[in-house]
Structure 1
Amino acid sequence: MLHAAILIPFLLAALIPLVKRLSRIHPGWVVLPIPAALFLYFLTGIPDVQEGNYTRESIHWMPSLGIDISLYLDGLSLLFALLITGMGALVILYSIYYLNKTEALARFYINLLMFMGAMLGVVLSDNLMVLYGFWELTSITSFLLIAFWHRRERSRYGALKSMLITVFGGLAMFAGFNLLYVMSGTYSIREMTGQVPMLAQEPLIIPAMLLILLGAFTKSAQFPFHIWLPDAMEAPTPVSAYLHSATMVKAGLYLVARLSPIFAGQNLWLWLVSLTGLITLLYGSFKAIKQTDLKAMLAYSTVSQLGLIMCLLGLGSAASLASGAEEPLFYASATAAAIFHLINHAVFKGSLFMVVGIVDHETNTRDLRRLGGLMSLMPITFSVAVIGAFSMAGLPPLSGFLSKEMFFTAVLNIREFDVLDGHSWMILFPAVAWIASVFTFVYSMILVFKTFTGKLKEDQLDKIPHEAPLGLLVSPVVLVSLAVVFAFFPGLLSYSLIEPAMAAVHNGLLAPEETFSVSIHLWHGWTPEVFMTLGVIAAGTLLFRGYSQLRILDREWNARNLLNRMYDGSLRLLEGGSRRFTDLYMTGSVRHYLLYIFSFFIVALGSVMLGAKGITLGMNHYAPLSFYEMAVIAVMVLAAVAVPFAKSRINAILFTGAAGYMVTLLFVIFRAPDLALTQMIVESVSVILFLLCFRHLPKLSKGKRPISFKLPNLVIAAGVGITMTLIALAAMGSSPFAPISEFFLKESYSLAGGKNVVNVILVDFRGFDTLFEIMVLGTASLGIYGLINLRMEPGNSAGVRAALGRAAYPARSNDVILQTMSKVIVIIIITFSIYLFFAGHNHPGGGFIAALMASAALILLAVAFGMETVRRALPVNYRMLTAAGLSIAVLTAAGSFAFGAPFLSHSFGHFHLPIMGDTELATAVLFDLGVFLAVVGVTMSIILTIGGDE
């Protein structure tokens, strides 16, 4: 069921375009039940997790590489799954009323669902490589969501900045994961946790830790990598409420918490995580005061709150370093505070983002200098803002007060930590925490009172504001209600979520029979924490009332601080340097590019062959050449030599085709029918493609020779030929291993149920290669289509007609004989193509060859009757046909998961069918069908696109 929970959002995202056709139904109402149902499903898992009955599901993917799609549901992953799905449901409900119906809603919900599925994959994955895949998918989908209003320059800038910084950290994290694999021999987090004593002694443990923390810090916007988060506020408010308060920015926190059992025994882990969080907390809270844009203020407050939680996770790791019977639990309370505040932050920050969205929606501005006096006009919104902001400020009687008090307890307790004798300066933790809390109080008050109290500035607003509709209010009201409920009934979270999550973070800290006990109370006496809170309120009130007189706090420095200037400067430097370097070799001449490629090819491979030991050419193992082989080779050489001397491009193409057909004859002589069929069809299609392309080139000048011989060209051409010949001979004579062909010949039928070894290799033994090849072909065909048909410049009527599918195709042939014969020949070719497809598993043929044969038939019709006729007679969208083929291939490959087999596993068996009798059926035929459709779609898409261009 865990795999289905991740897969469902992606499946629904794929169906959203179909919903788009139902104009009367808002896509949000179709999407909303999915996160709601997933939230209820994860709620049902709380009792099992409380009892320690964790769920683990695994599907073999690439077992030889140690990569399986292993999912694990414990207290920590359950907590995050509830946040992802619960907040997702509320955000989708809010977005239905927030986004205008004229927006690209289908695109919005597709990206949002993909992000939700990716986040669930991150928090549920036990395999680090699978986790990394989902991690990067969150970066890509968040990029698309932030750039939703892509016509705005600031949206594109913010999206690019967020992706560059988070992907940079993700690549570092990827390297750290692989270092962990080198040390432990597994990608499973559970298995690594059992090897902690051994891993602690490894010299690579510190580099792995630093690389992984780099990924966590960039994702969770820790200083100095936080600069992407304020610019990401250009996203629509529902995106900000979801990604930047409850989900994406929490991924780094999740990673730190999840890997704490592995790294918490290292002193460096404690200091790096806690100090980075503390600096981020102070910096973010200070910067938030200086903002005049409400979303920018919430962005920096998010940075600050993320730093607070990161600091607590670092302090909680002291439990693994402490000694004695009582001390581990004493420091583990910091982890409880982190988990509790993580929940509270999602509640109050999500509601505040929605409040800001409502204010923007009703006033068309988020500028504090233009706002004020909205309390009487928007009383419900004001009430929500008060509860959310006061909870963020840590004021009683709200849940934010409880987690902030636990934060104060943690920073006071760390003063007792005796590792490294840090007593003298550990006072910095509570001091900095108190100062940052004062700033938090101030920006919380600014958010509420500068927006909702004072005088209404009607002359600075585009419209008279009024209370938001009920649909916009439901989600924030639900969230702030939770802030009140969790304050008066904290036990609802303590026993159900916080204690199981602590057990996951501090795995192995307690004896198997022991459990964590978390007790949270609204009032716990006159403690130092209470006096710190009173001090925060007093100092914060004074600072709030007088901050406008303090120049340093009065206004924002236009958000162009040193870190942003460094980022922008670095980007300009990289772009300028890469452009200048690229201009040195990107001359625009294809001949130059080929010279570079072939020269590198000769030097790299030639030097390896000369320097390597034990290479023999193995020329004594070959059979003598027969007369027929010598004749075919002679014709092939003559055709190749004639190409440079051809006086027209048509002749050059025909000579090239002749050389290719001679290769086909060689395959026939060598009894390789599959290769012969493939070579023949590829050569035929290539000739047509060359002719279509070359007709756009200017005619060759009759006064000049079609080619001029140059010594460098001759040397490189000869060098490539000689190098390739030597490599081919060395491969036959120097291999230390037995030929793999013996394995394929022996096991083809027993393992894959096919007697045609070539086809079995393509669809079974090397199915990954085939799958990736048709994906590359599909991408290439889309690229060609985009380059030619999507030219919509003003005045380019031909480009416009092409983009609309009404391009003027070249004239058809007037050869009556060709047209008459082609009607019969096409039927024969199509029939033969169908035979090749079904016979391919046991006889010469297969999906690839059959697709090329069918494409050749369609091309023959195009040559005889014109491409416009073919398009009208066969109104097929070949790009959609390509997509259908790729989908069938991928779904067939993934279908093996349902039977507990690795990706791309096939099965076969014999069945008694009516009329046909005993028949062998293999799932590889379905994969071959995907290959067939994809290749036909790619070939015809390229031919019709190039042939239809004017």
Structure 2
Amino acid sequence: MSSLHLAIILPFLIAIVIPLIYPFTKRIHTGWFVLLVPSALFAYFVSRTSDTANGGAVMEEMAWVPSLDIHFNAYLDGLGLLFALLITGIGALVVLYSIFYLDKTKEKLSNFYVYLLMFMGAMLGIVLSDNLIVLYIFWEVTSLSSALLISYWFTNKGSIFGARKSMLITVFGGFAMMAGFILLYVETGTFSIQSLIGQADIIMQSPFFIPAMILVLIGAFTKSAQFPFHFWLPDAMEAPTPVSAYLHSATMVKAGIYLVARTTPIFAGAPEWFWIIVITGLTTLIWGSVSAVRQRDLKGILAFSTISQLGLLMTLLGVGSSAFNANSLSESALYGAAIATAVIHLINHATFKGSLFMAVGIIDHETGTRDINKLGGLMAIMPITFTISLVGLASMAGIPPFNGFISKEMFFTEMLTVTSMNFAGVETWGYVMLAIAWIASIFTFLYCAILFFKTFFGRFQKEQFNRTVHEAPLGMLISPVILGSLVILFGLFPNLLVTSVIEPAVASILPHVPVEELSIDMTLWHGINTELLMSLGVIGIGSTLYLTYPKWKSIAIMQHSRDPFNRVYDKSLDGLSSSSEWITKLQMTGRLRDYFAYMLVFIVALLAYAFVRSNSFTLSFTATEETPVYLYAITFLLILSTIALLFMKGRIQLIITIGVVGFLMALLFAVFSAQDLALTQLLIETVTVVLLLLAFRHLPEVTKEIGSRVRKSLHISISIAVGILVFLISVSAFALRTEANFTPISEFFIENSYKLAGGENMVNVILVDFRGLDTILEVLVLAIVGLAILMMVKHRFKGGEDV
């Protein structure tokens, strides 16, 4: 096992160990042991930065299911390294924060850290997997583990509701994404992402291109809370704050961003990719920023701000994808600069949003509320938390000298570039896109101001709190202080990570554009230009809106903090529940014959479709031989017995006649030299007849059912359909044997039964060796039925009375 594989699996291994050591860590917080995992992994990935420098990459292979082209291949390039550093670095800070946030005497910490490590390992698996199926498996593990983390406080109904919502939406997106992956495989014959990138031209010519692209994007949009799938994220804020800081600001919601970035070289050649991503990103950006202003809960504001920022990142990736359609290298570099901006803002967002979630967690932890209508005047009481919030909110609002200002200015630059872009009709809508981006930035400034001033300024109302409010303990402040310091550091020295992290990540997304062509050189002061004037306009208009906030906050739309799309979700869930109940009542009638009818209708429909679709009907009697007279007699008796079943009134007569049919079938098997089948059929028929006679002896007489004529007609139709279909399949299978290129499968077993399995009885070898798994499952089913019968007989009487 390679070091990259070990890095992915290590969190899962430690997650298995945690419940075993938890009983022995009562005196020490379990988080101190867990902290070693992300810290060690972060140090490991820092040591691998030399492998990705100058666009380098490392592939470490491990075969898993080679017959299906499923390989656990770990691929480390600039993009994977960037996300791995975020996952482990932010993960270490979150674990440190949780040590002081979660009370070891009141919380079930073993569960929390098992779920957290599961999530960390799954995220590493996503960003380091080269195989799409392996990526999908880890993708769904993140959905499962995140739902477990959201519902960690399972006694809270809101936690269960939020976990279920996130699970339903993200798993739905995962299924869609998997379908897209399968379409890509159908066209190319590979699940390897790097191989798919090499066949991008072939994929674009495929009729599956658009469906595969849309399905993959559905997976990305649901995971990254893009409009209209965004509404699961605010309800996920019922999770403990360490979970929100980790999953919903820095890692899980970035998985969709990663997927879009990773598949950009595959799909970006199509204008549909550009338009879908840009329109979705801008819609999410403006919707999230406006919705954040309506919130009264601190985590609610941060949730919608995260949605908005994810829309900004998606917009940048969409704009940057136009580099694949540029007419020259210089034009590709011009358009591709948006990808560099996305990578830079990805890092900046993780730092300032992570610190803000932790600051909000401190406020909630120390005051017992997140309602901005109750908060106020905390600046003097919680000065360190105030400073952390000031730095994080100023960065998110795009105010210098913090890192968010730099990436916001670069975002404006890229949107200005769109206005002059000559690609797929963009020039018509370029200024509309620019206006949406600028308006969204105004609302971003506004909700940052609301959160900041409503929380830390004004009058402190002591009576609103049921506890003594004070600053958080030192341990809880370490992680947000580190993140806040990075916000300042990356603002004052913005080029610190350019050569080691940013350029390799951009090179992974834009393999055809040399990094030196992009000229990634950031600075706080870039002169008086359009971007700076746009920023001044954002600050000016945003400040005016905040100062007039008391006058317009009573507008009807401002009184509804819940996203309107929740109504659609609620109605859909109610409709799904009621329709499921209706279908269940329709199907679960309690009649065995109805269950058989449903199964047979499905089987007939499926086989008939496959039969017609494959044009398999063939009729040929060239290989037929003369039929002996006794076969006519046996066949006549078989048909006569079968028809007689329709006219039987009593159960005993029915059972006896069914037995006759079974024994006649055994006779046919014996005539055609299938002695094993004949013996099996005889045993089954004997046991069946005896058991049915014993059981039916205790049943009441058959009564005529209401509507039996309609039911009988339906059953007759189904029976005829089954008979016709089986007849056609049998005739076609017989005719197929006469074709010159047909090789019966029996020849394989004749040649290999002794050679491969060492058995002289071919039937036994097929059952035990070639179809051993089927046989084991059949034996398992029989064993379960046998146990059930044994328990029923054992408990039939208790103390001499029926139970």
TM-score normalised over the length of structure 1: 0.71
Query: Which residue does the alignment assign to 1:46?
Result: 49
Provide closer, same or farther for how the CA distance between residues 608 and 73 of structure 1 changes in structure 2, counting only shifts above 3 A: closer
Structure number with greater CO (CA < 8 Å, separation at least 6) is 2
Q: Which amino acid aligns with 2:573?
A: L
Q: Is the 8 A contact 2:354 2:483 kept in 1?
A: yes
Q: Which residue identity does 2:78 align to in structure 1?
A: G
Matched residue, 2:197? 193
Amino acid of the structure 1 residue aligned with 2:236:
A
Q: Distance in 1 between matches of 2:630 and 2:110?
A: 64
Q: Give 2:162's match in structure 1, choosing from 141, 154, 158.
A: 158
2:151/2:239 contact within 8 Å kept:
yes
Give 5+ residue unaligned stretches, structure 2: 797-801
Q: Find out whether 1:57 has 2:60 as its counterpart.
A: yes
Shift of 1:306: 0.5
After TM superposition, give the deviation of residue 246 of structure 1 in Å.
1.1
Q: What corresponds to 2:24 in structure 1? A: 22
Q: Distance in 2 between matches of 1:762 and 1:114?
A: 40
**Aligned CA distance change for structure 1 residues 602 and 431 (closer, same or farther; 3 Å):** closer
* 1:431 shift after superposition: 3.0
Matched, 1:477 2:491: no
Q: Distance in 1 between matches of 2:182 and 2:382?
A: 54
How far residue 389 of structure 1 moved from its aligned partner, in angstroms, is 1.5
Aligned residues: CA RMSD? 4.8
1:757, CA displacement in angstroms?
7.0
Taking the aligned partners of 1:253 and 1:382, their CA distance within structure 2 comes to 31
Matching residue of 2:140: 136
CA distance in 2, matches of 1:157, 1:177: 30
Q: 1:363 to 1:268 in 2, by over 3 A?
A: same
Distance 1:716 1:285 in 2: 60
Comparing 296-305 with 315-324, which one deviates more in the overlay? 315-324
Distance 1:607 1:63, change over 3 A: closer
Deviations 1:375-408 (A, max 9, x none): 2332222222222212211222221122112112
Aligned residue for 2:548, secondary structure, equals helix
Per the alignment, residue 733 of structure 1 pairs with: 734
**For 1:396 and 1:486, how far apart are their aligned partners in 2?**
11
Residue 419 of structure 1 deviates from its aligned partner by: 2.5
Against the structure 1 CA distance between its residues 292 and 852, is the aligned structure 2 distance closer, same or farther, given a 3 Å change threshold? Answer: closer
Matched, 1:467 2:471: yes
* 1:809-841, Cα deviation, whole Å (9 max, x unpaired): xxxxxxxxxxxxxxxxxxxxxxxxxxxxxxxxx
Does structure 2 retain, via aligned residues, the 8 Å contact 1:118–1:135? Answer: yes
Separation in 1, partners of 2:649, 2:268: 69
Structure 2 residue aligned with 1:404: 408
Cα deviation, 1:250-294, whole Å, max 9, x if unaligned, reads 111111111111222222322322232122212211111111001
Please tell me whether the aligned partners of residues 503 and 515 of structure 1 are also in contact (alpha carbons under 8 angstroms).
no
Question: 2:83 is matched with which residue?
Answer: 80
Asked if 1 retains the 8 angstrom alpha-carbon contact of 2:616 and 2:732, the reply is no
Residue of 46, 70, 73 corresponding to 1:70: 73
Identify the match of residue 220 of structure 1 among 217, 224, 228. 224
Matched residues in 2 for 1:429 and 1:21: separation?
A: 57
Deviation at 1:47, TM superposition (A): 0.7
CA contact (8 A) 1:148 1:235 kept: yes
Deviation at 1:190, TM superposition (A): 1.4
Structure 1 position 336 matched with structure 2 position 336 = no
Per the alignment, residue 595 of structure 2 pairs with: 593
Distance (Å, rounded) in 2 between the aligned partners of 1:90 and 1:420: 44
| Deviation of 1:731 (Å) | 8.5
Q: Where does residue 573 of structure 2 map in the other structure? A: 571
Identify which of 419, 444, 451 aligns with 2:448: 444
Q: Which amino acid aligns with 1:529?
A: E
Q: Once the two structures are superposed, what CA deviation does each residue of 1:223-245 show, in whole Å capped at 9, x if it has no partner?
A: 22211111221222222112111
Q: CA deviation at 1:94?
A: 2.4
Measured in 2, the distance between the counterparts of 1:263 and 1:224 equals 22
Does the 8 A contact of 2:317 with 2:339 survive in 1?
A: yes
* Counterpart Cα distance in 2 of 1:475 and 1:531: 35
Does structure 1 conserve the Cα–Cα contact (< 8 Å) formed by 2:367 and 2:469? yes
The answer to whether the aligner puts 1:374 opposite 2:378 as a matched pair is yes
Q: Please name the residue that 2:6 is paired with.
A: 4
Query: Amino acid of the residue matched to residue 37 of structure 1?
Result: A
SS in 1 for 2:231: helix
Provide the rounded CA distance (Å) in 2 between the counterparts of 1:603 and 1:275. Answer: 41
Structure 1 residues 167 and 756, CA gap change in structure 2 (3 angstroms): farther
Deviates more, 1:441-450 or 1:597-606: 597-606
CA distance in 1, matches of 2:388, 2:205: 52
2:364 maps to which residue? 360
| Alignment of 1:252 onto 2:256 | yes
What is the DSSP-based 3-state SS (H/G/I as helix, E as strand, rest coil) of the residue aligned with 1:350?
Answer: helix
1: distance between equivalents of 2:21 and 2:269? 52
1:350-389 deviation per Cα after TM superposition (whole angstroms, max 9, x unaligned): 1211111221122221111111222233222222222221
Confirm or deny: 8 A CA contact 2:348 2:404 kept in the other structure: yes
854 and 536 in structure 1: CA distance in 2 versus 1, 3 angstrom threshold: closer
* Partners of 1:355 and 1:476 within 8 A in 2: yes
Contact 1:502 1:516 in 2 (8 A): no
SS in 1 for 2:460: coil
Tell me if 1:742 matches 2:743.
Answer: no
Distance 2:237 2:687 in 1: 54
CA shift in 2, pair 1:54/1:586, >3 Å: same
CA offsets 1:653-686 (integer angstroms, 9 cap, x no match): 9x99xx99x99xx99x96869x9999999x999x
8 A contact 1:547–1:554 mirrored in 2: no
Which of 388, 413, 417 is the aligned partner of 1:413?
417
Superposition pairs of residues 847-886 of structure 1, within 5 angstroms: none
Point out the more displaced range, 55-64 or 284-293: 55-64
State the match for 1:274 in structure 2: 278
Q: Is the 8 A contact 1:602 1:719 kept in 2?
A: no
1:17 Cα deviation from its structure 2 partner: 3.3
8 Å contact from structure 2 (residues 69, 190) kept in 1:
yes
Deviation at 1:57, TM superposition (A): 2.4
Query: Residues 75, 676 of structure 1: CA spacing in aligned structure 2 closer, same or farther, 3 A cutoff?
Result: farther
- Deviation of 1:593 after TM superposition, in Å, equals 2.0
Measured in 1, the distance between the counterparts of 2:481 and 2:8 equals 28
Pairing partner for 2:266 from 259, 262, 268: 262
Report deviation, 1:155.
Answer: 2.5
| 2:34 alignment partner, one of 19, 31, 47 | 31
Alignment length, in residue pairs? 777
Question: Which of the residues 387, 392, 396 maps onto 1:388?
Answer: 392
Q: Deviations over 1:172-197 (max 9, x none)?
A: 33333333334434332212222333
For 1:423 and 1:705, how far apart are their aligned partners in 2? 78
| Distance of aligned partners of 1:230 and 1:718 in 2 relative to their CA distance in 1, 3 Å threshold | closer
Distance in 2 between the 1:186 and 1:572 partners? Answer: 40
1:109 aligns with 2:113: yes
TM-score for both structures, normalised by structure 2: 0.82
* Cα distance in 2 between the residues matched to 1:860 and 1:586: 23
Per the alignment, do residues 644 and 353 of structure 1 end up closer, same or farther by CA in structure 2, a change over 3 Å counting?
farther
Structure 2 counterpart of 1:122, from 111, 126, 131? 126
Distance 1:89 1:534, change over 3 A: same
Q: Aligned partners of 2:571, 2:185: CA distance in 1, in Å?
A: 36
**What one-letter code is carried by the residue in structure 2 that aligns with 1:388?**
G
